Each structure stands twice: as C-alpha cells, then as structure tokens.
Amino acid sequence: YRGAGWTAVRNAPGSFALFGGSAVVKDFVFGLEDYSQATFFQTSAASLAGAAASITVAAPMDVVKTRIQARAHDDPKSGARIVAELVATEGPLAFFKGLTPKLLTVGPKLVFSFTVAQYLIAVTDRLAGRTD
C-alpha cells in the first residue's frame, strides 16, 4: 500500500482539472450553455483539454508517489522528505519528469473514456427528455 496517500492526493486535483478543463473549453471556446448540446467533436476537444490539464496537474504528486513506491523496502523516507530532497537536488522541474510520455500514453485512453462517457451521458439525457 506504499504511496496510497499520495495517490489520493494526486487524484483529487487531477479529477478537478479533468472536469474543470473540459468545462472551460465548453464554456469559453465553444460558448455552450447546455453541455448536453455539445457535438461529438466539441466533447472530444473538451476532453482532450481536460485530460491534458489533469495529467499535468497530477504530475508532481505522481512523481512523489512513484519514488515512494520505488524506494528500497527498508528506506523510511516520507513523502515530505522525498519532496524536500527532490527540490534540493533536482529542482522544481523534476516534478514534471515523465510528463511527455504520460501525456502520450495515458492521455489518449483518458480522452477516449472521458469523451465516450460525456457523450453517452448527454445522449441518454436527451433521450430521457431531461433538460436540467
């Protein structure tokens, strides 16, 4: 269960950025007032922006989580200690190590699943006659 706390810390802002990034694109780029009226393209574009924001926002906590999980079994270093050492020895940009590969590998899966989910929610809402 090593790194479970950091996983939770990573997931909260990541989810906020996913939904928030998607909403920003729907609001400000496409001018949608009713998200259920978004086309598949609009939903896909919004999902792409949300996924990129989510992965980027979560990257620092993910780096710490990975280092916690990869440390030696008998190494008692806490996450806070890892953060301090990371900043001191590698600098703040170290929190974004591996971001490009993660965007290229996790990004498409997140975009696909979020797009399909958001689109199907909108379609089922329209079929059910929901307008709220």
Distance CA 63, CA 6 (A): 10
* Per-residue model confidence as pLDDT tens digits over 10-64: 999 999 999 999 999 999 999 999 888 899 999 999 999 999 999 999 999 999 9
* Per-residue model confidence as pLDDT tens digits over 49-67: 999 999 999 999 999 999 9
Distance CA 114, CA 107 (A): 10
Residue 99 tokens, joined: 């971001």
Residue 131 has pLDDT above 90, yes or no: no
Distance CA 113, CA 132 (A): 24
Q: What is the mean pLDDT of residues 114-121?
A: 93
pLDDT above 70 as % of the chain: 98
Distance CA 48, CA 42 (A): 10
Residue 132 has pLDDT above 70, yes or no: no
Q: What is the mean pLDDT of residues 93-122?
A: 95
